Amino acid sequence: MTEVVCPGKRLGRTSEYRAGPGTYVRGTYIYASVVGPKLEQAAADEDGKPYLIVSQPKRARAADQVIQVGDTVMGRVTRISTRQAWVEIICVGETVLREPHRGIVRKEDIRATEVDKAEVAKSLRPGDIIRARVISLGDSTQYFLSTAENELGVRWAKSAAGAIMIPISWQEMQCPTTKEKEPRKCAKPV
């Protein structure tokens, strides 16, 4: 069974092994530079020393990520109007995008129930970090997003006092410093 190692873990001596990917040499020892399974690879050169490698799981690269309908995204609200909120999409699933994409949350896509009572200014504010779902590819410049599910909505917001607010219900957040409450369409913690 392979041993999972953490950065800084001593793996072996340079007299017995060569440093491979995910490792570094300090003095006469080889150490792990990343978290992952410790592997030994046969030598490819004449000295006969095997390589010590710490492999990392394959992750989607930002350049490989294509936003599709149904994807969950994280974004920053950049501005709002009475009809919609503009969002800068910064993450798709677990992958951080190299460059942000633009999205829009329309008034009717904020809540699942009582859609006619939804108000953009009482649900989202500029600077809020939200979790949303892509519901349409929109036009060539922006995606249409929805926060009309329990786990979607505002995940992080700052109060006027500059403190990070805490959700106290699905439609309110509170400043821990001033105890002032502000309306938001909060995301249920996942």
**pLDDT value at residue 59:** 60
Mean pLDDT of the chain: 88
First-residue to last-residue Cα distance in the chain: 33
pLDDT of 63 strictly over 60: no
Candidate CATH numbers 2.40.50.100, 3.30.200.190, 1.10.3720.10, 1.10.1040.10; the one for domain 4-54:
2.40.50.100
Mean pLDDT value across residues 134-147: 89
What pTM was computed for the model?
Answer: 0.66
**pLDDT value at residue 57:** 67
Reply yes or no on domain 62-183 having CATH 1.10.10.10. no
Q: C-alpha angle with apex 65: 56 to 34, nearest 5 degrees?
A: 15
Tens of pLDDT along 104-134?
999 999 988 888 888 999 999 999 999 999 9
Q: Where are the domains of the chain?
A: 4-54, 62-183
Sheet strands (E) in 57-128: 72-80, 84-92, 95-106
**4-54 and 62-183, same CATH topology:** yes
